[in-house]
Amino acid sequence: MKEQIQEAAARITAGYRLTDEAIGALAETRDILTLGMLADEARRLRHGTDTTFVRVAEVRVPLDDGARLEIPAAAREVRISDRTDSLTTLIPHVRRVVAAADGVPVSAFSLEALEAQAAISGRRLADLLAALRDAGADLIAEAALDQLSHAEHALEQVRKAGLGLARLTVQHTAGTAERLEHIIRARALQQSLGWIESFAPLGRSWPPGAPSTGYEDVRQVALARLLVDNIASIQVDWGRYGPKLAQVALTVGADDVDGVSPVDDTGEGRRRSPLEDIRRNILAAGLVPVERDGARRRVMS
Amino acid sequence: MSIEALAEKARAGARLNEAEALEMYLSAPTPLLGQLADQQRWKRHPDRAVTYIIDRNVNYTNVCVARCSFCAFYRPVGSPEGYVLGFDEIFAKIDETIALGGGQLLLQGGHNPDLPLEWYEDLFRAVKSRYPAFRLHALSPPEVLHLSRLAQTTVPDVVRRLVAAGLDSIPGGGAEILVDRVRKLLHCYSKASADEWIDVMRHAHRAGLRTTATMMYGSVETPAERIEHMGRLRALQDETAGFTAFIAWSYQPEHTLLQGVEATAVEYLRTLATARLFLDNFPNLQASWVTQGAKVGQLSLAYGANDMGSVMIEENVVRAAGAAYCMDEIEIVRNIEDAGFEARRRNMHYDVLGGPVFRERQVPRLLELAVARADGHRSVPAELINYPARSRAERDRRTRT
Ligand code: SF4
């Protein structure tokens, strides 16, 4: 099995396509150490030891009437989420968030929700995106490749509207075949689009009582790095998967950490700085922390 | 020696000295450490089996005079939150454990001055007379030492009396780091120095008991002191061969006096892998999913661990300090099999008892851990009156009631 994995990696490095059989072997391997090591090499070739992270302020809309909107000073991306069922009524709220963000890049909503809303309301997706752009949003927060009805078309509209995409995501994963399909799909999308900067390969939700396992997650991150070699960044979410798995993911191909809180945790009477925590975890993985903002610009500290 | 030369030495199965193990821990790339540990693990356990045990971690009292600075579990003598479990409460926990397919209690608790040696003897006898086949994996070395001080007798005598009452094996708790500089900083030197901890284990092994060994790392020790700790264990194992397993777990800082931060997951995997290379005379290494969570717990199987530890039915100590992961047998088996291994249920001696219980019969699912006692449950067991109270607080309480 080890030889098979190494041979597959050599083919990837040399720019050859893998046979379906070779890809299948990679997707099923239990030799996560060899797989992780190869993915780590691929990641280091591209990014060295630099590991970016972004502190994100989550804002839910609609905002409460009259409530003051305060964006934590440490936020490097403001992410608008929640209801997209009537975007027209939300646009004024997006404007308020953009004003409060005061120059910090603002990302908003998921592309699949916008696509669904366009279908329901009979409006064009392009118009919804344009309205968001005109309200001052910089990016669509996420696009789940397994949830979009017409992924390529929807993503093209994002680009045409002059918006960016914070990251390409996957909503559900169940089973090896589906996981592999997502990776191949991400690669294919980028082949035709060419401008996706970040892919978060771990499923964002899972069936109750059956979360993915550590082996599955490591394999998925490593495979994403090895097979999706046309997207620069492989991302893992700090808040969603927790520091332990996120840190391990950084050693098997991920190079970017999303979802770091901009607010100190003062629970249990003890102050904890997420900034210290993320830096400590990245350093303990033998890597170098680099803060970035939502527009992927490095933040000088 | 270079890392590559050390790796070659490890691959060849030659014993690493402490300086070499430290060098590997500090400088070897994490995947290389994992691969070397994995090789050693396969050499020892070529049959694809990963074991686990169904038992219940019962903390019979949280009242403790030791007051270790890293402990969020204990309550001082006289605290209204202090408790002692009654024999009946312990029997009820055993009944629940048996219903889940378990056959053992891991029984540990605080150093409670109002529980004399006779209380333990009576408890063990009572358990054994009700549940003759049920196992008691009980009383870490500092507790044994505490009892020897309370009863003013020797450690071998305490061990002999406890074995006569029904003790089957001794858990390796209370080791923290077996270096006295560290133990003094953690306020646990007086409960047991490094030599005393080792000595209790030596006596237990000589008395024919099997024990485990633990290491709580990531508090105030240096990496060299972690290796020194493992060195003490390896030396005793060379002498007695009495340890069945080694369990490393990270210090959990929440709610403790010492505070600080928890060591990271990568540090855990590196520590585990180094232990597999250095502790060449320890047959089994447990994954600490209780402190690391299910995912990193499962990944431990690639970094040298061959055992998933216990199906936790109840946990109080680590939870008090912030970690609250829960996996029942179904989850543990799912994780073992997903990693490509075969799940085998074992006892404390690592004898394989069979496959998963839930495949043989229906067992209730355990989606959260039980606690020693429900919140607000403050009753004092009736049988306590049979034992002399040593503390003023307990004497006053008895006078009042
Ligand atoms: S670790 Fe054990 S001995 Fe130390 S204070 Fe806690 S309960 Fe007492």
CB atoms within 10 A of CB A74: 17
Asked whether the beta carbons of A226 and B243 are under 8 A apart, the reply is no
Q: Do A214 and B335 touch (CB under 8 A)?
A: yes
Ligand 1 center to B71 CA (angstroms)? 6
pTM of the predicted model, to two decimals?
A: 0.92
Least confident of A171-175, A187-191, B293-297: A171-175
Residue of A nearest to B34 (CA): A33
Angle, alpha carbons A113-A118-A123 (nearest 5°): 155
Q: Do A213 and B295 touch (CB under 8 A)?
A: yes
The span from the CA of B275 to the CA of B34, in Å, is 11
Q: What is the pLDDT of residue B378?
A: 79
Q: What is the pLDDT of residue B224?
A: 98
The mean of the pLDDT values for chain A is: 90
Is B156's Cβ below 8 Å from some Cβ in A? no
Q: What confidence tier does B34 reach under pLDDT thresholds 50, 70, 90?
A: very high
The span from the CA of A66 to the CA of A34, in Å, is 56
Average pLDDT over residues A270-289: 89
Q: How far is B358 from chain A, CA to nearest CA, in Å?
A: 16
Chain B residues with CB under 8 Å of A286 CB are: 29-30, 266
Q: What confidence tier does A66 reach under pLDDT thresholds 50, 70, 90?
A: confident
Contacting A residues, span 229-258, partner chain B, CB-CB under 8 Å = 242-245, 247-248, 251
- Atom 3 in ligand 1: residue holding the nearest Cα: B66
Partnered with residue B84 across adjacent β-strands are B61
Confidence check: pLDDT of A268 > 60 = no
| Nearest-10 crossing angle of helices B223-240, B18-27 | 140
Q: Do B296 and A215 touch (CB under 8 A)?
A: no
Q: How far is B340 from chain A, CA to nearest CA, in Å?
A: 6
Q: Using a 6 Å CB cutoff, which residues line ligand 1?
A: B 64, 66-68, 71, 73-74, 110-111, 142, 188, 191
Asked whether the beta carbons of B42 and A31 are under 8 A apart, the reply is no
Chain B residues with CB under 8 Å of A179 CB are: none
Q: What is the pLDDT of residue A65?
A: 77
- Atom 2 in ligand 1: residue holding the nearest Cα: B110
| Nearest-10 crossing angle of helices B289-299, B329-338 | 30
The span from the CA of B75 to the CA of B71, in Å, is 10
B352-354 and B342-346: which strand pairing? Answer: antiparallel
> How many Cβ pairs closer than 8 A exist between chain A and B?
86
Going by C-beta distance under 8 Å and a sequence separation of 6 or more, which residues neighbour residue B53?
Answer: B102, B104, B309, B310, B311, B345, B346, B347, B348
Q: Where are the beta strands (DSSP E) in B82-177?
A: 104-108, 135-138, 169-170
Check if the interface score ipTM surpasses 0.90.
yes
Nearest to A40 by CA among A200, A226, A233, A284: A226
Going by C-beta distance under 8 Å and a sequence separation of 6 or more, which residues neighbour residue B102?
Answer: B53, B54, B55, B56, B311, B313
Is B337's Cβ below 8 Å from some Cβ in A? no
Asked whether the beta carbons of B170 and B229 are under 8 A apart, the reply is no
Q: What confidence tier does B367 reach under pLDDT thresholds 50, 70, 90?
A: low
A216-241 pLDDT, tens digit per residue, is: 999 999 999 999 999 999 999 998 88
Q: What confidence tier does B51 reach under pLDDT thresholds 50, 70, 90?
A: very high
Confidence check: pLDDT of B312 > 60 = yes
Q: Which helix (H) or strand (E) holds B338?
A: helix B329-338
Q: What is the pLDDT of residue B234?
A: 98
Q: What confidence tier does B150 reach under pLDDT thresholds 50, 70, 90?
A: very high
Q: What confidence tier does A83 reach under pLDDT thresholds 50, 70, 90?
A: low
B174-200 pLDDT, tens digit per residue, is: 999 999 999 999 999 999 999 999 999
Q: Which atom of ligand 1 is nearest to the CA of B191?
A: 3
Q: Rounded to the nearest 5°, which phi and psi values hold at B356?
A: -60, 135
